[in-house]
Amino acid sequence: MVDKGVEKRFFIGFLLGSEEMEEDIEVGEEASKHRWVVMGEGRGGEEVAECSRKPDVTQFSLSSLPMDLDKEIHLELFSVIRVYKSGRIERLVGTDTVPATIDPGTGVTSKDITIDTSTALSARLYLPNLTDQPSKKLPVLVYYHGGGFCSQSAFSATYSRFINSLVAQSRLLVVSVDYRLAPEHPVPTPHDDSWAALRWVASHSGSDGPEAWLAKNGDFLRVFLAGDSAGANIAHHMALRAGAEGLGPGIRIEGLIFLHPYFWGKEPLGSEPPIPEFRKDQELFWRLVCPGTAKGLDDPLINPLAEGAPGLEGLAGERALVCLAEDELRERGRAYYERLKGSGWRGEVELFESEGEYHVFHLMKPDCHQALLLMERVVEFLKCKDQQS
């Protein structure tokens, strides 16, 4: 049996809940297009539940269901997310948000913008204090938050604290993307939103575009893509798509940062837990957030090393930093690093490992020694060209 304490610790970190808060979410229309495998309360019987939806409605139709189904748990995974038999979604962690502001500790200014009103795709922008170098163009970092595709947001206290610190130390402009979450908006919706956001950023490359902060201050020949956990997964897929499709003239992706990337697969790799129950839960979780998958945990969306996945040599970018912790994703991250290193990719890839720390620890205890070392390495990576010039 899996040690439940270890499992819960990893997945609370994995889905990034610094505080145990609750939020009721109604299942969106996109979920009606899919089926997902779920399990009843506890680890008992499995079943397949089909989402029965009509267009333009915002929750499951309850007219033919007993009202107590809105209180009966159909699926709970890792004490993080619940699906009730009525279709209602409840998030148990990762729902706290803070407003954009001028951070008193760093002088970093942030503001929230809407990228696409039709999907409510939005982002939080961060700008360092420019009083000493008001005219200097800044590298642009597009950041994708973690949370297993189903939790957290760009507006959370966790990410605001982390990015304020990163911006202050690196002196760059950050666009932190707030993509729509599964299971209401199943994978690949988070990836599609993230691509739309990246294209929106690229539209400012000629000192043009709707957002003055980007048009005036951004150096689009120095663009970075980064993310943690599920966000690192998204950053990988954005780099693949940018390499295949391009982002237009005047924009260059310089570097990629993958913090504790969320990759997985059907078969155990290296020291990954071979325990059937643990791996079964991974499959259940993936089918919850990506119910349309045909290949399960060997879907290239979750396993970039699977047979048939796009080759890593096609990634956009010239440098990559893969950061790992002592978690269940470590072997996959190391294998990704080795595959990228040997793929013939034109860029340089580096590996940084944090010993004795668990998944996304730097977000939950940012002042610990290992978190400071990790931040120092990320800042060094981002400022590399500045130091050479």
Q: Which residues are part of the catalytic machinery? A: 229
Helices 369-382, 157-170: axis angle to 10 degrees equals: 50
3-state secondary structure at position 22 = coil
Amino acid at 339: R
Question: Can you tell me the distance from the alpha carbon of 316 to that of 254, in angstroms, rounded to the nearest whole number?
Answer: 8
Q: How many CB atoms lie within 10 A of CB 235?
A: 27
Closest Cα to residue 293, out of 106, 2, 37, 117? 37
| Secondary element (H or E) of residue 231 | helix 230-245
Closest Cα to residue 324, out of 228, 204, 224? 228
CA dihedral 340, 342, 347, 348 (to 10 degrees): 90
Question: Can you tell me the distance from the alpha carbon of 85 to that of 67, in angstroms, rounded to the nearest whole number?
Answer: 10
Amino acid at 42: G
Q: What angle do CA 278, 279, 281 make, to 5 degrees?
A: 70
Tokens at residue 331, please?
Answer: 């072997």
Q: Phi and psi for 193 in degrees, rounded to 5?
A: -60, -40
Residue 112 forms beta bridges with which residues? Answer: 124
Q: How many Å from the N-terminal Cα to the C-terminal Cα in the chain?
A: 55
